[in-house]
Amino acid sequence: MSNRSGLSAFPQAVRSLFVGAAIMGAIGIAWLAGQEYGMARAQDTTQYHAVSQDVPWRIPPLNYLGADFAEAFRYRTLVGGSRAPLPAEGIYFGEAEFAPGAVYVEHRHPAPEIYYVISGEGEWAVNGETFTVGPGSTIYTPPEGLHRMENTGDEPLRTIWVWWGTRETLTAFPEIVGPPAVQPDSARFED
C-alpha cells in the first residue's frame, strides 16, 4: 500500500483527468456564479467575439523583473481587464508565451491561476512540486501559491491562462519571491 495521499496516490493519467475535470468544473462554476451576480459579462457590452491575433502582445513593466524578462515573456488578455477586447468582471483569460530558455521566477498572487500548454516544453513548480509540462498539460496554482515557470525547449512555450476572483484579487500585482533570473540570450522574441 502506498503512503501517498490525495491525487498523488493515482497514476499520472488519472490525475490529469481529475485536474482537467476540476478545471472545467471551476470555470463552469465561475461562469454560473458570474451569471447570477452579473459578473461574467460586463453590463451594456455588445462585444462577444475576439481574435487573439488582432490583440497586441503586452510585456510586463520593465520595473517588474527587468528588461531581459520583458523580452522573454509576453501575454495578451482576451477577456476581462481594462485593455481586453471582451470585457468581463471576475475573470481574466488570455494567452502567454515564454521564449526559449525564459524563466519566470518564483512568485505568488491572490488570484488562483490555471495554465494550459498549447505547444512547447517546460518545467513548472507549484508549492514545491516540480514537474515537466508539454502540449495538453494543465497547471493549477491556488491563491497565494508559490509558482515558477521555465521554457526548457527550443521553441516558444505557448499557453492559455485564466485568473478569477474579485476586482481586488485580479488587480493585485504578483509578489516576486527571490531575485530576478538572468535570462539566456535565447530568451528573446524576434517579432
pTM comes to 0.76
Distance CA 78, CA 46 (A): 15
Residues 6+ apart with CB under 8 A from 21: none
pLDDT tens per residue, range 14-68: 445 445 555 554 454 444 444 433 444 444 445 788 999 999 999 988 878 888 8
89 versus 9: which is more confidently predicted? 89
Q: Which three cell numbers stand for residue 69?
A: 524578462
Please name the fold of domain 51-176: Jelly Rolls (2.60.120)
> Whose grid coordinates read 494567452?
95
Q: What is the rounded average pLDDT of the residues 167-185? A: 90
Secondary structure E strands in 28-156: 73-79, 91-98, 103-108, 113-119, 122-126, 129-133, 138-141, 147-151
Domain coordinates in residue numbering, the chain: 51-176
The predicted pLDDT at position 179 comes to 82
180 versus 185: which is more confidently predicted? 185
> Whose grid coordinates read 514537474?
131
For residue 99, pLDDT beyond 50: yes
Query: Three-state SS across 108-131?
Result: ECCCCEEEEEEECCEEEEECCEEE
